[in-house]
Amino acid sequence: MNPLDQVAFLEMRNITKTFPGVRALDGVSFDLQKGELHALVGENGAGKSTLMKILGGVYPYPEYGGEILIEGQVQRFGSVNDAAQAGIAVIYQELSLVKEMSVGENIFLGREPRTLGVIRWEELYRRARQLLDDLHLAIDPHTPIHNLGIGQQQLIEIAKALSHNARILVLDEPTAALTGAEVETLFGIIHKLRARGVGMVYISHKLEEVFRICNRLTVLRDGQTVGTRPTSELTEAQVIAQMVGREVGDIFPAVHHAQGDVVFEAKNVCVNDPNVPGKSLVKNVSFAVRRGEVLGIAGLMGAGRSDLLMAIFGAHAGRFSGEIRIAGHAARIAGPADAIGLGIGFVTEDRKRFGLVLDQTVLNNMTLASLKRISGRFITNVDAEAAACESAAKELHVKARSVFAIAGTLSGGNQQKVVLAKWLLTKPRVLFLDEPTRGIDVGAKQEIYSEINRLAKSGIAIVLVSSELPEILGLSDRVLVLHEGRVTGEFTRAEATPEKVMACATGRALAA
């Protein structure tokens, strides 16, 4: 036997990391074999991303305690580049592509093929094309990133990591924004890489996936390792109990929403495609929502669900046509400020782009949309603001040192809660929620579900877009299904079944 086979390919020993006031990692040990897929799970804020940032050189030696070994050799990465040189590629939870640049430029950013300093564009795009082909991605490498959906951007990040010939690949929540088909593409890629001997760390809140593809699983809780076991020896329930330290009961609270008058109506909404003249992303969609009602909008990625909500919210000015009525009155929405003024709140799917200012405090982020309401006309009432935010943060169990913590320092799931809190502070009449639980752990999901029910009970009309069918079915009073920009089905809570909704979402119901 090769002596090297007895040492773990990668070993992280007794890792500690503190931030001002927070002990993020407290003696964590973790190892990875060649060709292994090792899941790293835990609640929001457990320390998963931090551990992988240490591996990726984001927190260089000696900004952490403990040791990193590859094939038995101690590694001390001074930078992200050092880690990349050692064959480590990390795909972070918050995507880091440059929106204004093309797919190809992003993949080779800083490593462009050059002759005498001049970039060889043809070569760059040819190699980008190759990488994309390898992943079976039908995306033109010349496409600017901002024209791609968040799911496609995720796959571009993976192409970029592969261009480095990584031996260790870390995927932090890789499927949070992917459609079913994209997930299968990703799993295909993962299998291929595993066969090549690449070791992979897979961070996910979707335990079903973890059990499907991972060999071993490590649970972190509050910065400590709870345990590492082969997935075949564990059940989902055991893992959840280890993650949260308690049993999680029925995740969808049973409720009956008392519905009032129609408060929001959209008629014949059309949204044009910015890239293809004459093409529509949303075609003649009409719907109404009552006070206290939760309207779920189901559909596959690219069905036009987000575009529909964004357009109504005034974010697609110039590409939108249709009529909006709020509380029976025709409304003119020329931009998001008008929408907010009319009482519409919007938790967007892409929190980095539309939801959060990462280098500002939690407090500033929460009050961004509601400054006028909390403060007087011109003077900001700091105490009132802080008090309102503190109670919102407490209600949603936001894990942060205080409301003065910088938003970018919160874990991914906690950032999402801040976005939700921000809109709740605007006291909206109508609340649009687009993938509100993306990247959120089971315990926190349950809290957000109760919050949605509480908001509906208080009379807010809610429009919920989610790719998780159980979420749509568990929360909605009525379900609207979109397929390629059109409404292909509508069901009451009692009528909606996963089969019926999926048939409409895939367009199969049309043929019948």
Ligand X SMILES: Nc1ncnc2c1ncn2[C@@H]1O[C@H](COP(=O)(O)OP(=O)(O)OP(=O)(O)O)[C@@H](O)[C@H]1O
Judged by beta carbon, residue 93 or residue 102, the one nearer Mg ion is 93
Q: How far is the CB of 357 from ligand X (least distance, A)?
A: 15
Whether omega before 62 lies within 30 degrees of 0, making that bond cis, reads yes
In angstroms, the CA 358 to CA 349 distance is 16
Judged by beta carbon, residue 53 or residue 483, the one nearer ligand X is 53
Judged by beta carbon, residue 93 or residue 446, the one nearer ligand X is 93
Residue 109: what residue type? Answer: L
Angle, helices 382-395 vs 412-424, to 10°: value is 120
Residue 119: what residue type? Answer: I
37-41 and 216-221 as β-strands: parallel, antiparallel, unpaired?
A: parallel
Q: How far is the CB of 464 from ligand X (least distance, A)?
A: 21
Q: How far is the CB of 352 from ligand X (least distance, A)?
A: 13
Residue 78: what residue type? Answer: G
Judged by beta carbon, residue 26 or residue 265, the one nearer ligand X is 26
| Alpha-helix runs per DSSP H in 87-136 | 103-107, 121-134
**What residue ranges bind ligand X (CB under 6 A)?**
19, 22, 24, 42, 44-50, 93, 399, 409-414, 441
Contacted by 345, from Mg ion, ligand X, none: CB < 5 to 8 Å by type: none
Contacted by 75, from ligand X, Mg ion, none: CB < 5 to 8 Å by type: none
Contacted by 358, from Mg ion, ligand X, none: CB < 5 to 8 Å by type: none
Q: How far is the CB of 53 from ligand X (least distance, A)?
A: 8
Residue 30 · residue 12 · CB < 8 Å: yes
CB-nearest residue to Mg ion: 49
User: What string of DSSP letters covers 164-200?
Assistant: TT-SEEEEESTTTT--HHHHHHHHHHHHHHHHTT-EE
**What residue ranges bind Mg ion (CB under 5 A)?**
49, 93, 411-412
Contacted by 364, from ligand X, Mg ion, none: CB < 5 to 8 Å by type: none
Judged by beta carbon, residue 69 or residue 358, the one nearer Mg ion is 358
Residues contacting 488, CB < 8 A, separation 6+: 481, 482, 504, 505, 507, 509, 510
Contacted by 19, from ligand X, Mg ion, none: CB < 5 to 8 Å by type: ligand X
Contacted by 399, from Mg ion, ligand X, none: CB < 5 to 8 Å by type: ligand X
Contacted by 46, from Mg ion, ligand X, none: CB < 5 to 8 Å by type: ligand X
Angle at CA of residue 291, ends 290 and 294, nearest 5°: 70
Q: How far is the CB of 125 from ligand X (least distance, A)?
A: 34
Structure tokens at 314: 């005034």
Q: How far is the CB of 223 from Mg ion (least distance, A)?
A: 13
Contacted by 47, from Mg ion, ligand X, none: CB < 5 to 8 Å by type: ligand X
199-203 and 168-172 as β-strands: parallel, antiparallel, unpaired?
A: parallel
Judged by beta carbon, residue 204 or residue 370, the one nearer Mg ion is 204
Judged by beta carbon, residue 219 or residue 266, the one nearer ligand X is 219
Q: How far is the CB of 365 from Mg ion (least distance, A)?
A: 18
Judged by beta carbon, residue 297 or residue 362, the one nearer Mg ion is 362
Helix (H, G, I), strand (E, B) or coil at 28: strand
| Alpha-helix runs per DSSP H in 245-356 | 305-312, 336-341
Judged by beta carbon, residue 266 or residue 389, the one nearer ligand X is 389
Contacted by 442, from Mg ion, ligand X, none: CB < 5 to 8 Å by type: none
Eight-class DSSP state of 466: -
| Closest to 199 (Cα-Cα) out of 214, 218, 212, 183 | 214
Among all chains, which residue has been given the structure tokens 């992200």?
80
Q: How far is the CB of 318 from ligand X (least distance, A)?
A: 36
In angstroms, the CA 454 to CA 276 distance is 41
Judged by beta carbon, residue 49 or residue 364, the one nearer Mg ion is 49
Distance, C-alpha 123 to centroid of its chain:
33
Contacted by 474, from Mg ion, ligand X, none: CB < 5 to 8 Å by type: none
Q: How far is the CB of 430 from ligand X (least distance, A)?
A: 28
Q: How far is the CB of 173 from Mg ion (least distance, A)?
A: 7
10-19 and 65-70 as β-strands: parallel, antiparallel, unpaired?
A: antiparallel
